[in-house]
Amino acid sequence: MKYLTVKDLDTLFRGSLNYLGQKREEVNKLNVFPVPDGDTGTNMYLTLKTAIESIDKANPKNLKEYGKIFCEGTLIGGRGNSGVILSQIIKGFFDVIDNVEKIDVKFFSMALQNATKIAYQAVIKPVEGTILTIVRSMAQASLEAINKEDFIEFLSYIVEEAKRTLEKTPQMLPVLKEAGVIDAGGQGLIYLFEGGLKSLKGETISEVKEKVYDETIKAESLEFKFDTVLLCYLNNYPEDVIKKDLEQFGDSIVVATANDLTKIHIHSNEPNKVIAYILDKGEIKEARIENMQLQTEEFAQKTMEKPKKIESRFDFSIVAVAQGEGFKKIFESLGVEEVIEGGQTMNPSMQDILNAIEKCSKDTVFVFPNNSNIILAANEAKKYSNRKRVEIVPTKNPAQTIPIILNFNQEKSIENNLSKAVDMIKKINIAEVTYSVRNTTINGLDIKENDFIGLFDDNILTKGTTPEETFLSLLQTVKEKLQNAEFISIYYGKDVKKEDGEAMVEKLSEIFKDVEFDLVYGGQPFYYYIASIE
Amino acid sequence: MGRIFISERAIKKIAAFAATECYGVVGLAPKTIYNRILRVLKLEEYESGVDVEIVDNDTLIISLFVILQSGINVLEVSNTIISQVSYVVKNLTGIKNVDVNVIIKGIKGEQ
């Protein structure tokens, strides 16, 4: 093939469209810049699709007409940033075509150069490492290959060069490097050319059907079990021969060479034979074999475990706000239907609380705000909830909530339980250990920033050098108030080691002989220890 | 512990640079009505092509006065500007709600 006619060009673009359609999900996944919305592949595909559709409608006779309609199509259909750039590239490409019937290699090269020029014109500060870099490298490659007579050879050279440039995009653009990907737009453009090249060669690229997302993944038996990746030196052994030979071992074969290093990817049942084959041809640098069967089984198991719905055993549902995975787990095990993430630094909004209330199964919902700052939002949510009866139990701390829930009686009425809960709040004392965020003097204590402080019912009473020491001195300070105490449940935070907590509880048990101590993981941030005293 | 102040001027600069990095934007134009002759702003005058309204500590409204390349899908480019500028400003300043208005002051011809 020495030149392209209108018909060939049409074949080329239709091939591009279908190939891009197949690869668009892959391209979408690459998208990191500038906004990580992951739609580059789809945008480019839809842009091209509009153009092809307008060609179908207008049925142009000559190249000039074809170009005009195609440009209009991409202009109108141009979606997203990549679509707009693509439309400019196409526009630049067809701009130079005037009264010619055949595009030869030289003409194609000229068109690509103009495409680059037009594409760069529309931006003040071109960012390198994007689709613009790729189209420029294509134009450059077309100049290098201008002496090739065969169009397919010429186009293959351009695609190969562009791929090489694409590999370098992470070096040009730091965001790509950080994300560990290559540029999405550039990849899309290369697929566009690659698809065109394939269809010019006479390969048929099947049209894509719209995929249904969110398929449930089942543990199915795979035809080929092992995902095998080999990095090897093959001493210029021809890639296509290797590819052909590998077909006997499995599918999904990819052979790619960069510098001397060749990367081989294959799904196979006999990775040992693959390795033996490659060793016969050259040297292996690295090998990685993964069992996909087990992976999918694991994945399916994980997804199956996920939905677990807690149903309240009382006549009412319980919603609680908590921070820390330990508290979350405790609440769930106690039958709290909805645990809202939030706490000291991150207050949930009224809407969050309302949403949680709406999700509950029973008509009456008890809300435990577990923080004085959230009580207000909870009261607001109560006002706005018209489908459910909402009752707020104004707890100031998750540690308070746990004994209250434990004391609920499912045989008693809702009112009875509620009044009992509100009564209990006053009876449960809370001891906390946290750190100071600034220098201050309070209750005669001179507190420095980052000092550990002990709070008893929200009053700062002690300070210390370790959380454990602070907690010990805190309890000793309020000794008189603990005379009637029976249980002290201590919830340790995520910055505390379990052993430290255990050592502290041992000491505490010696000092307070009549009290039963319990140490549980709360996982809360900022507070080293939270304890409820009953 | 201390406070952080971000001046309007700084936000304008951030927005202007983010906008000029968008594909299809060939320049910013002065927003004032006194400058009746349309011209492309120089780099050091960028902030006069941006308007910033500070609603509260978490909310900003930015208006950008831009000149676009001709023969380009104006709507798509504008949408890109909105998402990109809003993303960059949010990311760099930590301000939660950033609304962006795009006012197209002109189209630059091909030659």
pLDDT at A157: 92
Helices (H) and strands (E) in chain A, counts: 19, 18
Asked if the Cβ–Cβ distance from B76 to A79 is below 8 Å, we say yes
Asked if the Cβ–Cβ distance from A81 to B110 is below 8 Å, we say no
Task: Name the nearest CA neighbour of A471 among A425, A512, A442, A525.
Answer: A512
Q: Token pair for residue A486? A: 């029976």
Alpha carbon of B94: minimum distance to chain A alpha carbons (Å): 16
Q: Rg for chain A (alpha carbons), in Å?
A: 34
What's the 3-state SS for A410-456?
CCCCHHHHHHHHHHHHHHCEEEEEEECCCCEEECCEEECCCCEEEEE
pLDDT at B72: 85
**Contacting residues of B for A121, CB less than 8 Å apart:** 26, 69, 110
pLDDT at A160: 92
For residues A323 and A514, what is the distance between their CA atoms, to the nearest angstrom? 31
ipTM of the complex: 0.77
In this predicted structure, the answer to whether residue A310 has a pLDDT above a threshold of 70 is no
Beta bridge partners of B28: B66
pLDDT at A254: 75
In this predicted structure, the answer to whether residue A36 has a pLDDT above a threshold of 60 is no
Question: B69 CB near a chain A CB, below 8 Å?
Answer: yes
Alpha carbon of A336: minimum distance to chain B alpha carbons (Å): 32
Nearest CA in chain B to A436: B1
pLDDT at A296: 67
Alpha carbon of B25: minimum distance to chain A alpha carbons (Å): 6
Asked if the Cβ–Cβ distance from A84 to B84 is below 8 Å, we say no
Please say whether the beta carbons of A92 and A117 come within 8 A.
yes
| Among A50, A84, A128, the residue to mutate for chain B (most B Cβ within 10 A) | A84
For residues A152 and A136, what is the distance between their CA atoms, to the nearest angstrom? 20
pLDDT at A210: 45
For residues B20 and A124, what is the distance between their CA atoms, to the nearest angstrom? 6
Q: Is the dihedral of CA A141, A143, A148, A152 positive or negative?
A: positive
Please report, for residues A14, A40, A134, A360, B105, the alpha-carbon distance to residue A70 in angstroms, rounded to integers and kept in the order given: 12, 20, 21, 55, 28
**Contacting residues of B for A91, CB less than 8 Å apart:** 71
Please report, for residues A10, A155, A236, A422, the alpha-carbon distance to residue A199 in angstroms, rounded to integers and kept in the order given: 10, 12, 28, 75
Count Cβ–Cβ pairs < 8 Å, chain A vs chain B. 67
- The size of chain B, in residues, is 111
- The mean pLDDT of A210-237, rounded to a whole number, is 62
Closest CB from A34, A78, A121 relative to B76:
A78
Burial class (CB in 10 A: 0-12, 13-18, 19+), A31: buried
In this predicted structure, the answer to whether residue A214 has a pLDDT above a threshold of 80 is no
A316-427: CATH, from 3.40.50.11860, 3.40.50.510, 2.40.50.140, 3.30.300.30: 3.40.50.510
Q: What is the pLDDT of residues B51-108, one digit of tens each?
A: 999 888 888 999 999 989 888 888 889 988 998 899 889 888 888 889 999 999 888 8
Cis bond before residue A60 (omega within 30° of 0):
no
Q: What does pLDDT average to over chain A?
A: 82
Please report, for residues A97, A461, A472, the alpha-carbon distance to residue A448 in angstroms, rounded to integers and kept in the order given: 77, 14, 20
Please say whether the beta carbons of A381 and A350 come within 8 A.
yes
Alpha carbon of A126: minimum distance to chain B alpha carbons (Å): 7
For residues B45 and A520, what is the distance between their CA atoms, to the nearest angstrom? 61
pLDDT at A314: 80
Instruction: Determine the Cα angle at B84 with ends A126 and A32, to 5°.
Output: 80
Closest CB from A35, A78, A122 relative to B87:
A35
Task: Name the nearest CA neighbour of B85 among A132, A35, A125, A119.
Answer: A35
Q: What are the structural domains, with CATH classification, of chain B?
A: 8-108 (3.30.70.1350)
- The mean pLDDT of A464-482, rounded to a whole number, is 84
For residues A374 and A378, what is the distance between their CA atoms, to the nearest angstrom? 6
**Which distant-in-sequence residues (6+ apart) come within 8 Å of A7 by Cβ?**
none
Nearest CA in chain A to B86: A35
- Enter the CATH code of domain A429-533: 3.30.1180.10
Nearest CA in chain A to B87: A35
| Among B76, B81, B89, the residue to mutate for chain A (most A Cβ within 10 A) | B76
Q: What is the pLDDT of residues B2-24, one digit of tens each?
A: 888 888 889 999 999 899 888 88
User: What part of B 28-67 touches A (C-beta under 8 Å)?
Assistant: none
Task: Name the nearest CA neighbour of A409 among A394, A423, A425, A420.
Answer: A420
pLDDT tier at A215 (50, 70, 90 boundaries)? very low
- The mean pLDDT of A456-477, rounded to a whole number, is 84
Please say whether the beta carbons of A77 and A51 come within 8 A.
yes
| Among B3, B14, B23, the residue to mutate for chain A (most A Cβ within 10 A) | B23
Task: Tell me which residue has tokens 């950008």.
Answer: B64
In this predicted structure, the answer to whether residue A35 has a pLDDT above a threshold of 80 is no
Closest CB from B27, B84, B110 relative to A124:
B27
Closest CB from A83, A91, A121 relative to B76:
A83
In this predicted structure, the answer to whether residue A415 has a pLDDT above a threshold of 90 is no
**Contacting residues of A for B23, CB less than 8 Å apart:** 81, 84-85, 122-123
- Residue A3: which H helix or E strand, with range? strand A3-4
In this predicted structure, the answer to whether residue A304 has a pLDDT above a threshold of 60 is no
Could you tell me which residue, A429 or A223, shows the higher pLDDT?
A429
Task: Tell me which residue has tokens 């309609």.
Answer: A69
For residues A278 and A262, what is the distance between their CA atoms, to the nearest angstrom? 11
Q: What is the pLDDT of residues B27-55, one digit of tens each?
A: 888 876 555 566 677 777 777 889 999 88
For residues A528 and A432, what is the distance between their CA atoms, to the nearest angstrom? 8
Mapped onto helix, strand or coil, the DSSP state of residue A147 is coil
- Pinpoint the alpha helices (H) of A306-431: 325-334, 350-359, 372-384, 398-407, 414-427
In this predicted structure, the answer to whether residue A497 has a pLDDT above a threshold of 60 is yes
Q: For domain A3-201, which architecture applies?
A: Alpha Horseshoe (1.25)
Mapped onto helix, strand or coil, the DSSP state of residue B4 is coil
User: What part of B 77-106 touches A (C-beta under 8 Å)?
Assistant: 77, 79-80, 83-84, 87-88
Pairing of strands B50-56, B59-69: antiparallel
Mapped onto helix, strand or coil, the DSSP state of residue A38 is coil
Closest CB from B21, B23, B84 relative to A84:
B23
Asked if the Cβ–Cβ distance from B110 to A437 is below 8 Å, we say no
In this predicted structure, the answer to whether residue A216 has a pLDDT above a threshold of 50 is no
Q: What is the pLDDT of residues A350-405, one digit of tens each?
A: 778 888 888 888 888 888 888 877 887 788 888 878 788 888 888 888 888 888 88
- The mean pLDDT of A98-111, rounded to a whole number, is 85
Amino acid at A38: G
pLDDT tier at A305 (50, 70, 90 boundaries)? very low
Asked if the Cβ–Cβ distance from A124 to B110 is below 8 Å, we say no
Q: What is the pLDDT of residues A148-198, one digit of tens each?
A: 888 888 999 999 999 999 988 888 888 777 777 788 888 999 999 999 998
Report percent pLDDT > 90 for chain A. Answer: 8
> What is the DSSP secondary structure assignment for residue A532, as one 8-state letter?
E
**Which distant-in-sequence residues (6+ apart) come within 8 Å of A444 by Cβ?**
none
**Contacting residues of A for B26, CB less than 8 Å apart:** 121-124
- Enter the CATH code of domain A226-303: 3.30.70.1150
pLDDT at A481: 79
Nearest CA in chain B to A85: B23
In this predicted structure, the answer to whether residue A20 has a pLDDT above a threshold of 80 is yes
DSSP conformation letters of A225-257: -EEEEEEEE-TT--HHHHHHHHTTTEEEEEEEE
Note every long-range contact of A471-478, with CB atoms under 8 Å and residues 24 or more positions apart, other chains counting: A471/A431, A471/A433, A471/A504, A471/A528, A471/A529, A471/A531, A472/A504, A472/A507, A472/A508, A472/A511, A474/A431, A474/A433, A475/A431, A475/A508, A475/A511, A475/A512, A476/A511, A478/A429, A478/A431
For residues A474 and A464, what is the distance between their CA atoms, to the nearest angstrom? 9
* Domain ranges within chain A, ordered by starting residue: 3-201, 226-303, 316-427, 429-533
